[in-house]
């Protein structure tokens, strides 16, 4: 059984997407047990439409829904202890859930997660890891925006956590890890990145294979399983790639509808286009993962539809099934010489 | 007449690409006068094949060709005063050329350009500006990798220089300028970026319209004419976008050849695919522009073919025709209260 808590009010659509999304994920993974946190009045009818989901879940009424444009500090002040977002996260502390999924606003979700779950022993900063489709399959890219800037030690921690996530998700024994940089010329490269390279190489960690520096175009090429960078450039890379994919989809649409011949061709090649659309479907890779906290938090895109939200739940499910948290703790403990966080009293 | 000096030995292919590329550009712009710098033995036969080009150019024999993987310091030591790259740049100082184009290695070209041309009055650091295809047309993104990191004042200078370039290239009177950032939440954003935003807003420069912050996906959307960022994240954004475009082209190729129906559809829609390919053709936007130096330097991709190199020459031609250098100097002078660089003795 995998216990998943959901912030039902999160995202642009709230319960209208989260409840049918959960129902879809349950079809695929009948061993999920959901713990739902939402405003009962907005959820009760929707839930009645999904009797299987209703049967495999417990529902908790919450006073407050965190707004999509609330600032993190405001969300914390208003929603601490009583919002659906906070309570969904806190279900991990109460040992009612193994993972939490929310489509709520990233800043608020991160602030509440840090506040509520605290960072793991030895970790100064959490990271957001994205699952990035590549020519070879999928890679993990972190940090894509949890915090701005990172020193060499923090990049080293990202490498460890990303490596553990790759082992949990991709079933590779020793995932390759690259540090994002801008070429190999002498005048180039941030000091922290160079220093992180030295740290990772010298640590010679069992769970990862250090590849060296990679550049922006190596991400989509799938050169390494895990791409490590600080949050500013990681976020810019992610958004630039998303923007390019949308841009080309737009070009393609325009090209295929301009002439009669193109439209005829489109009809013949429809199957191929459908497969391409599926490959490019952002819903299929929906779900950033917050790493470095005492609990796994999955952030779904705010604008995701039910299928997108279900995909985010799938990611959380896989993480729990494959013991992500224990893997990270073991790696960190080995590297930092610290104890797994369970043994450590919370600050 | 536009006088263009060429580093004939630069790039992965050297004269084999540069000479036919120059010939193509000359077809399009018969008022170009080329000054060619190369190793005569490798160029003489190729040049004989392009009599029109030969007639509109002067050729200077050079001892040394800078290697594509030479470090900047090494290239400077070995090639200063006698390499085709150095001499092509120096032709601007000698007032033999208005712009220089090289497909040589970026680090060496930047180092030599800074050494040979010096930065403009008031400018601490040069920038590399890329011309980025967008859903609305084209935008300018800078810096894409001249230097790592930039303080608020340097970002302000990038905004001014990018604005001048947009006015020279796009024929807009008051181009919109955005600062690349990672969202608007309070915990986010680098200090320098925030401070630069304040500087640009307060300066209220005549030649640009400050838009505010933009995110990575705004670049391809064409939200602003000019996107300003420091070199590390700019380079990552550019390469991530290039990687994504290549990745999708690969998906498309695979999808269109998998089934008979898809192949039939491809035949019908071939015209549309050709147009799409043209839209995505990286050769069409080949050419990074070095800004902030006492002379315009165009960097072509090292792997460009003749059409690609010709496109880089086109960019240089347009810059000269539209008085880019004077526009930048006027803007900088107005902002910094300094004199145009001509009036200032070189250090």
Specify whether the CB–CB gap between B189 and A147 falls below 8 A: no
CA–CA distance, A267 with B19 (Å, rounded to integer): 44
On chain A, the residues whose CB falls within 8 A of the CB of B114 are: none
Give the C-alpha separation, B239 to A328, whole Å: 30
* Most confident option among A19-33, A139-153, B187-201: A19-33
Q: Which residues of A touch B239 (CB under 8 A)?
A: 182, 215-217
Helix (H, G, I), strand (E, B) or coil at A224: coil
For chain A, give every domain's residue range.
Answer: 1-123+292-347, 146-284
Nearest CB to A272; choose among B145, B255, B279: B255
Q: What is the pLDDT of residue B171?
A: 80
CA-CA distance, A100 to A6, in Å (whole number)?
6
Contact B182 A231 (CB under 8 A): yes
CB B298 within 8 A of CB B101: yes
CATH number of B129-283: 3.40.718.10
* Alpha-carbon distance B178 to nearest alpha carbon in chain A (angstroms): 14
Is the CB of A271 less than 8 angstroms away from the CB of B262?
yes
Q: What is the pLDDT of residues B23-78, one digit of tens each?
A: 999 999 999 999 999 999 999 999 999 999 999 999 999 999 999 889 889 999 99
Among the partner residues B110, B221, B265, nearest to A269 by beta-carbon distance: B265
- Measure the CA–CA gap between A6 and A1, rounded to whole angstroms: 16
Is the pLDDT assigned to residue B186 strictly greater than 90? Answer: no
DSSP per residue, A160-228: HHHHHHHHHHH--SS-EEEEE-S-S-TT-S-HHHHHHHHHHHHHT-TT-EEEEEE-HHHHHHT-SSEEE
Cα torsion angle, B112, B116, B117, B119, sign: positive
Cβ pair A186:B135 closer than 8 A: no
Q: Tell me if B247 and A134 make a contact (CB, 8 A cut-off).
A: yes
Mutation for B interface: A147, A246, A269, A271, most B CBs within 10 A = A269
> What are residue A289's phi and psi, to 5 degrees?
-115, 125
B102 in Cβ contact with B7 (< 8 Å): yes
Residue B166 has φ and ψ, to the nearest 5°, of: -65, -40
Contacts of B266 in chain A (CB under 8 A): 265, 269
> Residues B219, B131: contact at Cβ < 8 Å?
no
Of A107, A272, A275, the CB nearest to B185: A107
Q: Predicted ipTM?
A: 0.84
Distances (CA, A) of A40 to A48, A299, B14: 12, 22, 70
Nearest CB to A242 within list B217, B259, B279: B217
The C-alpha of A44 sits at a distance from chain B's nearest C-alpha, in angstroms, of: 33
Query: Which residues does chain A have within 8 Å of residue B220's beta carbon, measured at their own beta carbons?
Result: 240, 243-244, 246-247
Q: How far apart are the first and last CA of chain A?
A: 30
CA distance to partner chain B, nearest, from residue A242 (Å): 6
Name the CATH superfamily for A146-284.
Answer: Isopropylmalate Dehydrogenase (3.40.718.10)
Instruction: Give A174's Cβ-side CA count (13 Å radius).
Output: 8
Interchain CB distance below 8 Å, A255 and B180: no
Q: What percent of chain A has pLDDT over 70?
A: 92
Contact A271, B261 (CB under 8 A): yes
Residue to substitute from A132, A134, A186, A243, interface B, most B β-carbons within 10 A: A243
Angle (CA) B288-B293-B297 rounded to 5° is 35
Among the partner-chain residues B111, B147, B268, the one whose CB lies closest to the CB of A265 is B268
Residue among B221, B222, B216, B223 nearest B238 (CA): B216
Mutation pick from A185, A240, A260 vs chain B, by most beta carbons of B within 10 Å, is A240
How close, in Å, is residue B1 to chain A by CA atoms? 37
Per-residue pLDDT tens for A66-88? 999 898 899 999 999 999 999 99
What span, in angstroms and rounded, lies between the C-alpha atoms of B2 and B99? 8
Contact yes or no for B52/B26 (Cβ under 8 A): yes
Among B145, B183, B243, beta carbon nearest to A221: B243
CA atoms within 13 A on the CB side of A198: 7
Specify the pLDDT at position A346.
Answer: 40
How many helices (H) and strands (E) chain A has is answered by 14, 11
| pLDDT value of residue A189 | 64
Measured CA to CA, the distance from residue A187 to residue B198 in angstroms comes to 30
Q: Quick one: pLDDT at residue A279?
A: 66
Q: What is the pLDDT of residue B257?
A: 76
Neighbours of A52 (CB within 10 A): 11
**Cα separation, A78 vs A135, whole angstroms:** 44
A1-123+292-347 in CATH: which number? 3.40.718.10
The Cα of A23 is separated from the nearest Cα of chain B by a number of Å equal to 31
Integer Rg of chain B from CA: 21
**Alpha-helical segments (H) within chain B:** 15-28, 40-48, 51-55, 72-79, 84-93, 106-117, 152-170, 191-203, 216-221, 231-258, 260-268, 270-280, 306-321, 324-336
How far is A79 from A72, CA to CA, in rounded Å?
Answer: 10
Share of chain B above pLDDT 70, in %: 92
Q: Are B243 and A241 in contact (CB under 8 A)?
A: yes
Q: Work out the minimum CA distance from B72 to partner chain A, whole angstroms.
A: 7
CA angle, B130 as apex, B129 and B134 as ends, to 5°?
A: 135
* SS (HEC) of A101-127: EECCCHHHHHHHHHHHHCECCCCCCCE
Which strands sit side by side in the sheet containing A288-291, from one edge to the other? A57-61, A32-38, A2-7, A99-102, A296-299, A288-291, A127-134, A137-142, A226-228, A176-180, A209-214
Mutate to test the interface with A, among B73, B76, B125, B265 (most CBs of A within 10 A): B265
DSSP label of A340: P
**pLDDT, tens only, B270-319:** 777 777 666 666 556 667 899 999 999 999 988 889 999 999 999 999 99
Distance, in Å, from the CA atom of A133 to the CA atom of A219, rounded to the nearest integer, reads 9
For tokens 């497909």, the residue is: B103
**Cβ contacts of A128 on chain B, cutoff 8 Å:** none
Of A321-325, A336-340, B34-38, B152-156, where does mean pLDDT reach its minimum?
A336-340
**Both tokens assigned to B9:** 């030995």
**pLDDT category, B263, cuts 50, 70, 90?**
confident
Output A46 or A268, whichever has higher pLDDT. Answer: A46
A247–B135: do the CB atoms touch at under 8 Å? yes
Residues in CB range of B337: below 8 A, 6 or more apart = none
Beta carbons of B107 and A186 less than 8 Å apart: yes
The tokens of A292 are what? 């470095």
Q: Which residues of B touch A106 (CB under 8 A)?
A: 183, 185
Query: Would you call A247 and B134 a contact, using CB atoms and an 8 Å cutoff?
Result: yes
pLDDT score recorded for residue A22? 97
- Other C-beta atoms closer than 10 Å to the C-beta of A158 total 33
Query: Is the CB of residue B6 less than 8 Å from the CB of residue B35?
Result: yes
Given a cut of 50, whether residue A344 has pLDDT beyond it is: no
Average pLDDT over residues A208-215: 94
| Residue (of A140, A65, A129, A49) closest to A103 by Cα position | A65
Interchain contact, B269 vs A272, CB within 8 Å: no
Distance CA B198, CA B203 (A): 8
- As given in the structure block, the two tokens for residue A278 are 């599926």
The percentage of residues in chain B with a pLDDT greater than 90, rounded to a whole number, is 63
Q: Tell me if A264 and B269 make a contact (CB, 8 A cut-off).
A: yes
DSSP-derived pairing of the beta strands A127-134 and A99-102: unpaired
Same fold: B1-123+292-347 with B129-283:
yes
CB B208 within 8 A of CB B197: no
With beta carbons under 8 A apart, name residues in chain A contacting B189.
148
Helix B15-28 × helix B40-48 angle, to 10° = 40
Q: Residue A71 and residue B186: Cβ atoms within 8 Å? A: yes
Q: If you average pLDDT over residues A12-17, what whole number do you get?
A: 96
Which residues in chain A are closer than 8 Å to B276, comparing Cβ atoms? 251-252, 255
Give the residue from chain A lying closest to B265, CA to CA: A265
Cβ–Cβ under 8 Å, residues B42 and B98: no
B108, closest residue in chain A (CA to CA)? A185
**Distance (Å, whole) CA A258 – CA B276:** 11
- The token pair at B126 is 């040069």
Six-digit token pair at B228? 């300003």
Q: Which residues of B touch A255 (CB under 8 A)?
A: 269, 272-273, 275-276, 279
Read off the pLDDT band of A284 (50, 70, 90). Answer: low
- What local confidence, expressed as pLDDT, does residue A330 receive? 85
């Amino acid at each position: 059984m995998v216990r998943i808590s959901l912030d039902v009010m999160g995202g642009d659509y709230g319960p209208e997407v989260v409840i049918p999304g959960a129902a879809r994920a349950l079809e695929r993974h009948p061993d999920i047990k959901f713990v739902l946190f939402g405003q009962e009045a907005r959820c009760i009818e929707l839930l009645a439409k999904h009797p299987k989901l209703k049967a495999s879940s417990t529902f908790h009424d919450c006073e407050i829904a965190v707004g999509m444009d609330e600032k993190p500090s405001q969300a914390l002040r208003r929603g601490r202890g009583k919002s659906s977002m906070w309570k969904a996260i806190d279900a991990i502390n109460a040992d009612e859930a193994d993972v939490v999924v929310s489509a709520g606003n990233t800043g608020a979700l991160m602030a509440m997660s840090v506040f509520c779950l605290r960072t793991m022993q030895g970790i100064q900063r959490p990271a957001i890891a994205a699952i990035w489709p590549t020519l070879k399959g999928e890679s993990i890219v972190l940090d894509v925006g949890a915090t701005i800037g990172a020193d060499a030690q923090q990049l080293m921690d990202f490498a460890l956590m990303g490596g553990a996530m790759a082992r949990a998700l991709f079933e590779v024994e020793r995932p390759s890890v690259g540090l994002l940089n801008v070429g190999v010329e002498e005048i180039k490269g941030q000091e922290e990145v160079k220093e992180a390279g030295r740290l990772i190489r010298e640590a010679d960690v069992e769970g990862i294979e250090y590849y060296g520096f990679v550049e922006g175009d190596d991400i989509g090429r799938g050169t390494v399983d895990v791409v490590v960078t600080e949050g500013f450039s990681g976020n810019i890379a992610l958004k630039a790639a998303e923007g390019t994919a949308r841009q080309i989809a737009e070009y393609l649409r325009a090209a295929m509808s301009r002439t009669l011949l193109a439209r005829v061709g489109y009809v013949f090649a429809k199957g191929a286009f459908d497969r391409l659309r599926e490959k490019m479907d952002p819903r299929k890779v929906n779900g950033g993962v917050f790493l470095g906290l005492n609990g796994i938090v999955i952030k779904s895109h705010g604008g995701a539809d039910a299928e997108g939200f279900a995909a985010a739940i799938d990611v959380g499910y896989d993480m729990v099934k494959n013991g992500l948290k224990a893997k990270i703790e073991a790696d960190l403990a080995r590297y930092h010489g610290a104890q797994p966080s369970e043994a450590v009293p919370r600050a």
